[in-house]
Chains A and B, each alone.
Chain A
Amino acid sequence: MTHIVLETDRLTKRFGGLAATDECSLEVVAGEIHALIGPNGAGKTTLLAQLAGELRPDSGRILFEGRDITRLPVHRRVAAGIARSFQITTLFPKFTVRENLALAVQARTGHSFDGFGVVADESDLDDGAEETAAQVGLSDVLDTVVGALSHGRQRQLELGMALACRPRLLLLDEPMAGTDPEEAQAMGRLILALRPALTCILVEHDMDVVFRLADRISVLVAGRVIATGPAETIRTDPQVIAAYLGAEPIASTESIR
């Protein structure tokens, strides 16, 4: 029996006259990697922002583990178990990897309004940071300032920041952005290893990555889901080919991988 972790019910968000999300209904099953694909401007980023709580929808509902979270602010959703990564690396470049991750651990363990305990004494933050660093392969650079890391490693930390929140649902916004083929492969292995403990929603343009990682794919066009299904179905769906993949689809990108 499948268990629905996240459900959107006729979610709508308008900017001026334009409906960026248009009565969008989506179901995400526990433990799956659910890819969200669609042409540029189809509303993937807007949808993700509404799931994360950064944007308020105009109408419709978002249910997480059966609970209505439509009105919850971002930090409450994180506490409820939803974390996200960003397409454009959004870290603390002047801080070390350890400090970056410790901030996420601190948010989770609470007491951020505790103005009297001196942090240097608190090893629980350190332990949490080290644990996540090991998970995303950054143990060797814990005390390196993030700005000095290569792009690929910053992308690993981008994922790590979300993981350090210990989410049950992870929203991944183009985790491969700007990576070279080797880095992309390493990232792919990291994401696959998250399953099935975590449910992931993955926005990604690289079809090779999507077809390799995703259990199910939803295709978003003009703010609506036009198709949902496993890779084989989506790959051959004529509507999807017309709107997104193009006439000679993945053959071209596969030759390079």
Chain B
Amino acid sequence: MSALLSIERLETGYGLSQALFGVDLEILPGQAAALLGRNGMGKTTTLRALFGQLPAWTGEIRFLGERIDGRPTERIAQMGLALVPEGRQIFPNLSVTENLSAFRANRCGTAEPWTLDRIHELFPALQARARNLGHQLSGGEQQMLAVGRALMTNPHLLVLDEATEGLSPLIRRELWNVLARLKAAGQAILVIDKYLDELLRVADRHTFIEKGRSVWTGDSTALRDQPELWHRYLGI
């Protein structure tokens, strides 16, 4: 099967200071992949490069078989790459329904696109708050809205950057369950998070980044069996 997303030997940085020194990452259709590593090692930078917010210095990024490095962010998003950004960044002065419906698109061309009703079914809390403005939502509801908004574009690949940060244990659990359901339904996912046990449950493939390089890639079984990897690359 050909890869949905493949990043090869990616190097980039800020201004003159290099932050990535060779990142490789591959995601197959329907796969859930996790990007792991300590803070400051290059996870968010990799996402910035993926979404065209930073130019790739060398290496290449292919999505659906096409080179996307060098393309502007909006073109990359239109191809079916959706980001749930760190800090949610929902529109505070739009209602929940407006936050969702403004993003309606069918970028992966599915026969059953996401609708408001289906989002409500996935996150019942959002239905109850449909008419509330974004800034009136609790942190957990905002996070659900950010995920719902990304799904409304029917992306080929859903990308989540620290989506469970600042959530209470119950809501966090609920979000992981939603991700597991999405994956079971065939949605490809790339997730950055710090909760290793949940990643082991939901993701098929894990890549560690250390000092701007991808240093280990493997499946959940391999990762579960090698706690020394957790210690070396996460400090736990």
Contacts and interface: CB of A to CB of B under 8 A. Distances in A.
- Do A and B come into direct contact in the complex, CB within 8 Å? yes
Interface of A: 15, 37-42, 87-88, 150-152, 174, 177-183, 185, 205, 207, 243-246, 249-250, 252-253, 255-257
A145 to B, nearest CB: 14
Contact of B167 (A151, A182, A205, A252): A205
A40 B38 contact: no
B171 A177 contact: no
B169 A152 contact: no
Interface string B82-125: 00001100000000000000000000000000000000000000
Contact of B165 (A177, A183, A245): A177
Interface stretch (B25-33, B65-73, B190-198): B190-198
A183 B38 CA distance: 9
B197 A253 contact: yes
Interface residues of B, number: 30
B139 interface: yes
A246 B197 contact: no
A249 B87 CA distance: 25
Chain B CB within 10 A, most for which of A152, A179, A180, A243: A180
Contact of B235 (A39, A174, A180): A180
Interface of B: 38-40, 86-87, 136-141, 162, 165-173, 194-198, 230, 234-236
Contact of A41 (B138, B162, B234): B138
B147 to A, nearest CB: 14
Contacts of B194: 180-181, 256
Contact of A182 (B86, B168, B235): B235
A41 B141 contact: yes
A106 to B, nearest CB: 31
A243 B40 CA distance: 35
Contacts of B230: 256
A255 B227 CA distance: 11
B168 A39 contact: yes
A178 B165 contact: yes
Given A39-B138, A41-B137, 12 more contacts: A40-B139, A150-B39, A150-B40, A174-B166, A177-B166, A178-B162, A178-B165, A180-B39, A207-B169, A243-B170, A246-B169, A253-B195
B235 A253 contact: no
